[in-house]
Every structure is written in C-alpha cells, then in structure tokens.
A and B are shown apart, each in its own frame.
Chain A
Amino acid sequence: MVSTEWLEAEVLKAVPDADVEVIDLHRSGDHFHVRITSPSFEGMRPLQRQKQVLNHMKQFIPHPVHAIDLKCMTPEQAAVTGDTAFDPHAGGQGVHIRRINRQKEE
C-alpha cells in the first residue's frame, strides 16, 4: 500500500515538469488513476508518453502498485479533456468512464 503523495512524487521523477493528479480508486493504496499533464508530451505518441512514466514505475509493479491507469496529456489536451477516472472493479458492461464534473470558475 502506497500513498497518493508517494505516487505523485515518483511520477514527478519521470516527468519533472508535470502537473500530476493521483486518484486512489478504492482507497486501498494499490489501484490508481493518474492524470499527468506536461508540455514535454507534445509530439509524442500515447505509448511513448506512458513509457516515459512506466519505465520508472515498473519497478513498483505489481507490488506495491497493482494497477495504474495513466492519462498523459499536453496542456492543450488537458484543457479540453474532462476529468476521467476509470474504476476497473466498478462492474457492469461496456466502456466505463466516470467523468467528474469540475466546478467551473465562473
């Protein structure tokens, strides 16, 4: 079991200029959704972006981190992408995206 703060710090080692948001999906400290926003992702394909993170994180998989769902975005993409967190054990059928509505600052 690890904390969201620990995971955020580890992700920042891989992408130092990133804005990192970690969601502990079950409050169990082992299933995480991680939203990573960085201008350095510009021009990189999705897999390249994840590999930059996973190359550092793979030493922690599958223990103590059992599951890590990554969303790697440029600031431009993040601006038009709603918060997306996927819970792999939410059950049911179909493609699940649980969108968390942000409070608009208007």
Chain B
Amino acid sequence: MNMDWTPEELQAIVDEHALVLFMKGTPDQAQCGFSNRAAQVLQALGEPFAAVNILTDPRAIPSVCTWSDFPTMPQVFVHGELIGGSDIALEMLNDGSLREMFDAGRQG
C-alpha cells in the first residue's frame, strides 16, 4: 500500500470500509499478540474487514495514533468510528454489541 498516512488518507480508509483493523502485521501473520487477538475477533464476527499493516512504514504508528487520538495498536473501526483496541473488541464481540453496531450501520 502506497500511503503517506495523512489524516485524509486514514479517514478515507475508514469511510470506505465498514470494518477496519489497524494492526501490527497481517491477520495471517500478526506481529503482536494484541493485533492477533483483534484479527481473531473480527474473523469471529464473520464479516469482511480491511486490515492495515502499520509496520510497513515507520511513519504509520505516530500518524494513526495522532489522527485517532488513541495511543496503542491495534485499533478497530466500525463504520468509521473507533471502538478501541483488542480488549474492547473482544468485550463487544462477547456481549453482542459489536454485532449490533455493525448491523445498525449497515442498515443505515
């Protein structure tokens, strides 16, 4: 992916995809246990998601964290809204609110 990690580019990604995961590595080859857990949560949800590997460019982590105002990776976006990292994603998978939020946005 050829990116400059500008706020406009990042916003375009989460506007374009209903589910976006900014992560270390890829869903198949996660480079961090938290990123792996977040990818597993989205796979468990069973909906297609866009995964952005922020280890491909040293500018990525500071750019994404500044843009989203969230200090850690991974970061999960549902319909353009940051829900949090892997801990919140898992909590929302288990209590059903991730499914609710995804379905609500899809209908709207």
Contacts and interface: CB of A to CB of B under 8 A. Distances in A.
Given A88-B32, A88-B34, A88-B36, A57 B71 contact: yes
Given A46-B88, A54-B72, A61-B72, A86 B37 contact: yes
Interface size class of B (residues with CB under 8 A): 20 to 34
A3 B86 CA distance: 24
Contacts of B70: 51, 54
B87 A88 contact: no
Interface residues of A, number: 23
Interface string A54-74: 100110010000011111000
A92 to B, nearest CB: 9
B34 to A, nearest CB: 5
Interface of B: 32-34, 36-37, 40-41, 44, 69-72, 82-88, 90-93
A6 B107 CA distance: 46
A51 B36 CA distance: 22
B87 A86 contact: yes
Contacts of B93: 95
Given A54-B72, A61-B71, A95-B41, A46 B34 contact: no
A79 interface: no
Contact of B33 (A51, A57, A90, A97): A90
Contacts of A43: none
